[in-house]
Amino acid sequence: IVLTQSPGILSLSPGERATLSCRASQSVTRSNLAWYQQKPGQAPRLLIYGASARASGIPDRFRGSGSGTDFTLTISGLEPEDFAVYYCQQYANSPRTFGQGTRVEIK
Amino acid sequence: VQLQESGPGLVTPSGTLSLTCTVSGGTTISFYWSWLRQSPRKGLEWIGNIYYSGDTTYNPSLESRVTISVDTSKNQFSLKLSAVTAADTAVYYCARGVGYMDVWGKGTTVTVSS
């Protein structure tokens, strides 16, 4: 399954809402889709699994939604620490695959 | 739970890349463990995973060159990638999970060069 993320770069100000898209080349069964956040020099950090369940310790400003082939990560009220690269990943099929990432940068 | 990758940072072309992931603060038993890598050219790429019992699943694109093993007595799991080329230069991560990965190591950079 090929995952295509858009936009490639999102330029926003702190406090604004970020909407990130992940589109799959075929249906992701059972909403087996995850979102990760990665900051420079760090490993990815799990944010969302099952398309909409927040991982342990993830603030509720992070919201995942969608099903089938279209998924969205919404960050309501960007905090300074949220500026990073975000990846979606499907685990419905093997091999597991990742999107190419969306960079959220400070405007 | 914390994961730590270890192994050579430089591998010669056509050689074998060998990495170990040590699990601390928890056990390898009853969990799946994964290896992934990240490069500017290919982005994040899943290499494969192993259950503590030893059952493995590999990415078909790498399957002919990959071996993942686990040693529950040492709380470690390992990656071997043979016949490496410059295209295998990447940051290699170990992680916990078979679907989504909820715990990651910090990653280790492996360069393939003579």
CB contact under 8 A, B57 and A94: yes
pLDDT for position A97? 98
> Would the pLDDT of B63 be above 90?
yes
Averaged pLDDT, B48-76: 97
Residues of chain A with pLDDT under 70: none
Is A71 part of the contact surface with chain B (CB cutoff 8 Å)?
A: no
Which chain B residues have a beta carbon less than 8 Å from that of A31?
A: none
pLDDT for position B19? 98
| Cα gap A74→A58, rounded to integer Å | 13
Which residues make Cβ contacts (< 8 Å) with residue B83, sequence separation at least 6? B14, B16, B65
Q: Which of A19, A21, A34, A43 is nearest to A89 (CA)?
A: A34
Task: Tell me the pLDDT of chain A averaged across its residues.
Answer: 97
Which chain A residues have a beta carbon less than 8 Å from that of B46?
A: 95-98
Token pair listed for A63: 């919201």
What is the percent of chain B where pLDDT is above 70? 100
pLDDT for position A5? 98
pLDDT for position A30? 87
Is A101 part of the contact surface with chain B (CB cutoff 8 Å)?
A: yes
Per-residue pLDDT band at B69 (split at 50, 70, 90): very high
Rg (CA), chain B: 13
